[in-house]
Amino acid sequence: MISLKHKKDCCGCGACYQICPKQCIDMRCDVEGFLYPNVDKRVCVDCHLCEKVCPILHQEKTEDKYLGSILAKNRSDIRLNSSSGGIFGELAKVILSSGGVVFGAAFDNKWMVHHIAIESVQDIPKVMGSKYLQSETQKSFIETKKYLEDGREVLYSGTACQISGLKAFLRKHYDNLYTVDVLCHGVPSPGIWERYLSSISQEYCSDIEAINFRDKISGWHNYSVSIKFCNGDLYSENYEKNKYMNMFLKDLILRPSCYSCKFKKMERKSDLTIGDAWNIENVMPELDDDKGTSICITHTDKGTKILDRIKDSLKMAEIELDTILAEDADSRKPVIMPGGRAYLFFAYRHNANFNALCRTMKNTKKNKLLKKIIRNREN
């Protein structure tokens, strides 16, 4: 049965939880706000299935199939509501229009994120756009399998570790399954996000109506985090000034597995990898209209096929991977855990509210000392 020695050895993909024939695994929130499997040993029959499907325990060698990379922009309005060039929305459209099913990360009514299945084009906006916290896969691998066995086309999108978990769970190749992963910096703690939501709702004395992590109102390069409140108020601030994004981009609130990520390599389980073409302003400035351009990397023939189905809706240009990703090292190798992470989560465990968590980031003498003491204690 699954028994984790170190937190870093679990990316939270949920494959073990979903495969267990005795349903004796549940995903429980830890003291940092991330989910981990917990086994009811009284019910476990030691079948080892949970270990077999774990993408961290079993790192199968994947053929390094790099079939090319492109820069792409959706010609339609989908792009404005997407994080970068709007490739994902178009892929979703083509699958749904031919009777398929699409899985992606969506907000729930408490503004937490989990994977959902959609079956109609009207629902595409729910799964579009990056949500910068870990998405719960819940029972989406089981549902995916059911749709595949029914002969429907399925497009499943997520982080590279989620796609690896899904493929391990399925344990079989399906011609009707398409997978897309994102170039992934890492996933922040849903627990920290919850504290942020509570703080901003209190500040605006209102519930939330809509959230956009990547609002292009001031341009794509200089994107804003926007939150619409039910009382009609709007919060919109540049990503560098937003306190939650600041914690995320300083790598302070990522899942432990993200600091030793084994999935960021270019040999991937997915058919396509999508990301932000940030370096376009240096590489092909003539294409950069500051409304969002994606990079799309093809790993398999199925990836080539599905890209071919949407090519008329995209403006595309071939590009060398090393050139376009030159400035985005974090998407190809794990980030380094900063010294202040342990102190911030120490405060989180002791019920600090979001503003108090922000204070742990200040460069004061007291904080430096506390950071050192807590880090030494936890090592």
Ligand X SMILES: Cc1cc2nc3c(=O)[nH]c(=O)nc-3n(C[C@H](O)[C@H](O)[C@H](O)COP(=O)(O)OP(=O)(O)OC[C@H]3O[C@@H](n4cnc5c(N)ncnc54)[C@H](O)[C@@H]3O)c2cc1C
Q: Is 135 an interacting residue with respect to ligand X (CB under 6 A)?
A: yes
Q: Is 111 an interacting residue with respect to ligand X (CB under 6 A)?
A: no
Q: Is 184 an interacting residue with respect to ligand SF4 (CB under 6 A)?
A: yes
- Choice between 83 and 199, CB closer to ligand X: 83
Q: Does residue 308 contact residue 91 with C-beta atoms inside 8 Å?
A: no
Q: What residues between 233 and 292 interact with ligand X by CB under 6 A? A: 274-276
Q: How far is the CB of 184 from ligand SF4 (least distance, A)?
A: 3
Q: Is 187 an interacting residue with respect to ligand SF4 (CB under 6 A)?
A: yes
Interaction partner, residue 48 (ligand SF4, ligand X, none; CB < 5-8 Å by kind): ligand SF4
Candidates 21-29, 127-135, 251-259, 302-310: pick the segment binding ligand X (CB under 6 A).
127-135
Among 49, 54, 94, 187, binds ligand X (CB under 6 A): 187
Q: How far is the CB of 152 from ligand X (least distance, A)?
A: 18
Could you tell me if residue 23 is left (phi over 0), alpha (psi between -120 and 50 degrees) or otherwise beta?
left
Q: How far is the CB of 206 from ligand SF4 (least distance, A)?
A: 31
Interaction partner, residue 352 (ligand SF4, ligand X, none; CB < 5-8 Å by kind): none
Q: What residues between 141 and 160 interact with ligand SF4 by CB under 6 A? A: 159-160
- Choice between 56 and 124, CB closer to ligand SF4: 56
Q: How far is the CB of 29 from ligand SF4 (least distance, A)?
A: 13
Q: CA torsion 335→55→244→334, rounded to 10°?
A: 10
Q: How far is the CB of 235 from ligand SF4 (least distance, A)?
A: 27
Q: Please report, for residues 88, 159, 188, the alpha-carbon distance to residue 80 in angstroms, rounded to integers and kept in the order given.
A: 12, 22, 25
Q: Is 117 an interacting residue with respect to ligand SF4 (CB under 6 A)?
A: no
Contact code string over 268-297 relative to ligand SF4, x by CB under 6 A: ------------------------------
- Choice between 49 and 253, CB closer to ligand X: 253
Contact code string over 41-80 relative to ligand SF4, x by CB under 6 A: ---xxxxxxx--xxxx------------------------
Q: How far is the CB of 18 from ligand SF4 (least distance, A)?
A: 9
Q: Is 226 an interacting residue with respect to ligand X (CB under 6 A)?
A: no
- Choice between 25 and 78, CB closer to ligand SF4: 25
- Choice between 133 and 192, CB closer to ligand X: 133
Report the alpha-carbon distance of residue 296 to residue 302 in Å, rounded: 14
- Choice between 190 and 346, CB closer to ligand X: 190
Q: Does residue 85 contact residue 72 with C-beta atoms inside 8 Å?
A: yes
* Three-state secondary structure of the chain: CCCCCCHHHCCCCCHHHHHCCCCCEEEEECCCCCEEEEECCCCCCCCCHHHHCCCCCCCCCCCCCCCEEEEEEECCHHHHHCCCCCHHHHHHHHHHHCCCEEEEEEECCCCCEEEEEECCHHHHHHHCCCCCCCCECCCHHHHHHHHHHCCCCEEEEECHHHHHHHHHHHCCCCCCEEEEEECCCCCECHHHHHHHHHHHHHHHCCCEEEEEEEECCCCCCCCEEEEEECCCCEEEEECCCCHHHHHHHCCCCECHHHHHCCCCCCCCCCCEEEEECCCHHHHCHHHCCCCCCEEEEECCHHHHHHHHHHHHHEEEEECCHHHHCCCCHHHCCCCCCCCCHHHHHHHHHCCCCHHHHHHCCCCCHHHHHHHHHHHHHHC
- Choice between 100 and 275, CB closer to ligand SF4: 275
Question: Which residues form the interface with ligand SF4 (CB under 6 A)?
Answer: 1-2, 10-16, 20, 22, 24-25, 37, 39, 44-50, 53-56, 159-161, 165, 184, 186-187, 255, 257-258, 261, 263-264
